[in-house]
Amino acid sequence: MTHTTHEFDRFEDVRAALADPALVPERPAAADGPPGASVAWLRATVARFSHGEPHRRRRALVEAELARLAPESLRQAAAVVPGEDIRFTVVRTLAAALGMPRPAAVAEAVIAVAGVYFGGEDAAADEAVARLVRWPAAPTEVGPGSTEDGPGSTQVGPGSTQVGPGSPQVGPGCTSTEVGPGSTEVGPGCTSAEPVSTQDGPGSTQLAPGCPSLELVSTQVVPGTPSAGSEPTAEPVPVPFDAAPESAAGRIGLLVQACEATAALVETAAGDERLPLSRVLRERPPVRTMRRVAAGATCVAGREIAEGDVVLLDLAAANRAHPVPLTFGAPPRICPGRAHALALADGLLRRPLTPFARLHRRAHPLLLPNAWDYASAAALAEQGFAAVGTTSLGVAASAGLPDGAAATAEATMSLARRLGRGRFLFTVDAEGGFSDDVAEVAALARALYEAGAAGINLEDGRPDGTLAPMELHAAKIAAVKQVAPALFINARTDTHWASSHEDETATRLALYEQFGADGVFVPGLSDPAAIAELISALVVPLNILYAPGGPTLAELASLGVRRVSLGSLLYRRALAAAVTAATDIRDGRPTDPAAPSYAEVQALAYARQDRDPAAAPE
């Protein structure tokens, strides 16, 4: 029977096709091979080339292991060895993280398998599969930097996988993602990928950083699922059947997919350390095209697609037309291992991080209290907070000025200079930069940095409730990064505070991180599912504003939130406490005697001035 080939390159059409469960990858044609000892067996047993119940079962094995492997452990363990093939380094690091013996030998075998995984036959690759099946993962917990099996090989420390032989072992990165029965997509990083282009049919390469592509049963991320570096919060659900063969195949598939895609991402990004990883994924994606086959009749963009028809998706063209990339495990094919792959790539790139930026890479979120003067900042620092922010409302109200009206540039700069005398890390809420002149915003940011600020908060909201054009805000971010590259830019979007703009959130955040934002902030967002979905598409840390009655700090951590700000909450509570104390005394009611003494407040002016912010607690 003759089948039609359909090609799509428009963002909306490609996204619709990616979300269609009827469009699935086809398994490369090949003769059957002996169980546990051939590439043909491997293809028939991994989630990447399966659908329906087998796919869901195999994906569950992968997810169980991902839930026990902290992405941050991979970032810490990754280390480039001079002269070593980056593919070898990637696989060796993952194999060590999975507790497999002889990681260097594993890497050699995986590279052999990768050559024919997506098409072709090779006796040496079959032998490599047999060796890999005989090397099960073992319980492992070795600190970052420790070595095994050759120079530079590394075992992952905190958060590393600890599982017995035969249990599902999956690592960074892992699981490709497709939506619905029969669909499939590559794992961390997702959307299958080859460094240069290629389609995922016979003979082509569709690799994902770090993962065996797997289909998603649902396009939604379940609230509470560990993501983006969050600590594991629950034991995996037991799988009621003999999982050993599928577990072994899943582990090998994971390593094979990491072999090319993660390495390609690292090599591309290494050429320019100032190019954000998010921009690399959009402009130079590891996967440029994808090939799908219709498992059943369907319709995409008004075009009827019959069962057996071939669908070619031009991801590179779609990415050029829209800020939100459709690659590397981002929605609509959410990959649960994406954070692991990105962490591994980031670790191998070893881009320099400031002490403040490192606070966003810890096992738990940075809780950022916001101060309005030197005493409040110093008091918070004395209580062990690793960094403090400023609150624009507190600064404005203290000066008798309106907040968000670009009226407090001088007051903000003055406070920054005072805070700069202290020896604690601080970041400044600068509204929208107090100007729409990009050069003026950059000059302000440079002045804040020279005053001692470790970060800046720039928002796109305006006093009249509208939002600044996203291109203008992105230009401000790029200009600031150019003049103060070490200043941590937290790009805020007020889409959840401005009416009728919530659907712009993902687009704005994608653009801001691609133009150099080190983190992104969405005040007003509190829905766990929406938070998790945003995180699944981001490369940089997400900042959420704490809201009494909203998710707790622990719940936000489980979603993958990396920074939680208190905003103006402390200032407003301080005002309430002051007024309550005064009225209680006036009206003869008992008062709370708890308050710092005169001497203690006096001491705040000097107590933090001999401390080194670079020594902030990790």
Residue 368 has pLDDT above 70, yes or no: yes
CB-side exposure of 402: number of CA atoms within 13 Å? 7
240, pLDDT greater than 80:
no
For residues 282 and 4, what is the distance between their CA atoms, to the nearest angstrom? 29
Partners of 543 in the β-ladder: 521, 563
Could you tell me the maximum CA-CA distance found in the chain, to the nearest angstrom?
92
What pLDDT does 63 receive? Answer: 82
> Could you check whether 5-349 and 365-615 share the same CATH topology?
no
Beta bridge partners of 313: 8, 290
Domain ranges of the chain: 5-349, 365-615
In tens, the pLDDT along 498-554 reads 778 999 999 999 999 999 999 999 999 999 999 999 999 999 999 999 999 999 999
Separation in Å, CA 603 to CA 86, 382, 418, 609: 53, 11, 15, 11
365-615 CATH choice from 3.40.50.150, 3.40.190.10, 3.20.20.60, 3.40.50.2000: 3.20.20.60
Assign 358 to helix, strand or coil. Answer: helix
Main-chain dihedrals φ then ψ at residue 456, nearest 5 degrees: -140, 145
Side-chain half-sphere CA neighbours of 51 within 13 A: 19
* pLDDT for res 197: 36
Query: Order of strands across the sheet with 387-390?
Result: 366-368, 563-565, 542-545, 519-521, 488-492, 455-459, 425-429, 387-390, 370-371
Residue 467 DSSP symbol: B
Res 338: pLDDT: 84
Secondary structure (H, E, C), 505-558: HHHHHHHHHHCCCCEEECCCCCCHHHHHHHHHHCCCCEEEECCCCCCCHHHHHH
User: pLDDT tens across 310-356, in order?
Assistant: 999 999 999 999 999 998 878 887 776 788 889 999 999 999 999 99
CA atoms within a 13 Å half-sphere pointing along the CA-CB vector of 114: 28
Could you report the per-residue pLDDT of 260-313, keeping only the tens digit for each? 888 889 999 998 888 999 999 999 988 889 999 999 999 999 999 999 999 999
Q: What percent of the chain has pLDDT over 70?
A: 80
**Cα-Cα end-to-end distance for the chain:** 62
pLDDT, residue 232, reads 39
* Cα 175 to Cα 170: distance, rounded to the nearest angstrom: 8
For 29-56, the pLDDT digits (tens) are: 776 788 899 999 999 999 888 877 888 8
CB 170 within 8 A of CB 47: no
* Residue range 262-277, pLDDT digits in tens: 888 999 999 888 899 9
Range with the poorest average pLDDT among 151-155, 311-315, 603-607: 151-155
Half-sphere exposure at residue 79, Cβ-oriented, CA atoms within 13 angstroms: 18
Cα-based distances in Å from 330 to 15, 172, 311, 333, 337:
11, 16, 20, 6, 11
Give the residue ranges of DSSP H helices in 67-160.
71-77, 86-97, 103-114, 123-133
The answer for residues whose C-beta is within 8 angstroms of residue 543's C-beta and 6 or more apart is: 368, 490, 492, 519, 520, 521, 522, 561, 562, 563, 564, 565
Burial class (CB in 10 A: 0-12, 13-18, 19+), 232: middle
CA-nearest of 225, 244, 199, 257 to 48 is 257
* Dist. CA 503–CA 528, nearest whole Å: 16
Question: What is the structure's pLDDT at 239?
Answer: 37
Mind listing the pLDDT tens digit for each residue in 417-471?
A: 999 999 899 999 999 999 999 999 999 999 999 999 999 999 999 988 899 999 9
User: Cβ(138)–Cβ(169) under 8 Å?
Assistant: no
CATH of span 5-349: 1.10.630
Predicted pLDDT at 614? 53
pLDDT at 10 over 50: yes
CA 91 to chain centre: 21
pLDDT band at 173 (very low <50, low <70, confident <90, very high): very low
